[in-house]
Amino acid sequence: VHVAGTNGKGSVASTLLAVLSRAGYRAGLYTSPHLSSVRERFRINDEYIPREEFARHATRIHDILAGRQITYFEFTTALALLWFADRQVDVAIMEVGLGGRLDATNVITPLVGVITNVSMDHEAYLGTTLEAVAGEKAGIVKPGVPVVAGVGNDASRMVVEATCLKQGADLYLLGRDFRAEPEEGGRWSYHPLAGPPLAGIEYRLQGGHQLANGAVALATQEILARKGLPVPESAIRAGLREVHWPGRLEHFELPAGPPANGARYRYLLDGAHNPAGVESLAAALGSFPHRQLILVWASMADKDVAPMLAAIAPLAHRLLLTKPAGERAATPEQLLAMLPEEARTKAECVPAIPAALDRAREIAAPDDLICVAGSLYLVGAARKLLLGELVADE
């Protein structure tokens, strides 16, 4: 299964993994980037790649290259394919790293292609118009291979439709061929490509935008069922209920002091790092009750930062600007200069992430929400400090 799109790729891919694994399949998942350990990129069902197997396949790639150079992402993609082949998975879910047409994952011919949605991101590589970006995403479409898409009714949809028509690939569109509808109590119903609706769905991934991702994953599963990978309703419900995608609207509480006093800090970690992702985060904040929002924020300098800050800054009562390690990261001072004028009085520059989290805890009252967002690199570093490694033995 080949998964492309601007946002929601990881949510769709991890949902598919959860559903397929609950049905008894040996399902491989390759995603990027990782939060703190490179081994997070490689999973089979609920198991991350063991150290020994990572080292063995890495050594094999190194020896075969014999001094020739490849990129980091080409290396991890090759390693994923080698590991999945070695473990003889029943199905492999491969997430595109960037774009699609020229992505290292585009060497595969899948059972089904997925384009979650298309919005502006990585303009330096993918183009400065929605049509150009959609053209890169649609580069994963293969002759005769069906495509499930959650694209909006805009220029991106026209590009995807035209590409599928040219390639003789059946296209299944969210809102036209399948859909999700919210129900009371946070549940929703799925109206499939064929057959009766599936009502009363509980989905662990939070946020209104996740309905679209869940529906795209279920439509993709319907196509896989036609290709010999059926899943019973019980596994679908269990997978949706239990799916875990860390760092994406991830809500948790941690003690604020000795257990006896019972005080707790409330956190929300979200990897939103482009305008559409920040828009989804802003819309979702109302689902997490809080008195004040304390926002810890960092961004990569090559992102379209100003509109993201303009969308999220008005919702924050205090804004702590910080910087993850790496040359691409914007400095707190650069972020401060991009803030709307009226938001600068509530902002502070805190160069180091540990110090930014400490400062957030100093400010926070028990019914406040500490939100960490703007970059997956920031979320990864903060999550490791707050919860430890995702890969248990890392």
Which helix or strand (DSSP H or E) is residue 59 part of? helix 51-65
Q: How far apart are CA 12 and CA 216, in angstroms?
A: 7
Token digits of residue 206 = 């939070």
pTM of the complete model: 0.92
| pLDDT tens per residue, range 149-170 | 999 989 999 999 999 999 999 9
DSSP state of 83: H
Q: Which residue has the higher pLDDT, 74 or 302?
A: 74
Q: How far apart are CA 218 and CA 198, in angstroms?
A: 10
| pLDDT tens per residue, range 226-257 | 999 999 999 999 999 999 999 999 999 999 87
| pLDDT tens per residue, range 373-383 | 999 999 999 99
Percent of the chain clearing pLDDT 90 (strictly above): 88
User: What integer pLDDT is reported at residue 20 of this predicted model?
Assistant: 98
Close Cβ partners of 348 (under 8 Å, ≥ 6 residues apart): 318, 319, 320, 321, 359
Query: In this structure, are residues 108 and 30 in contact, taking their beta carbons and an 8 Å threshold?
Result: no
Tell me the pLDDT band of 260, cut-offs 50, 70 and 90.
low
Average pLDDT over residues 263-273: 93
Amino acid in the structure at residue 187: R
pLDDT at 84 over 90: yes
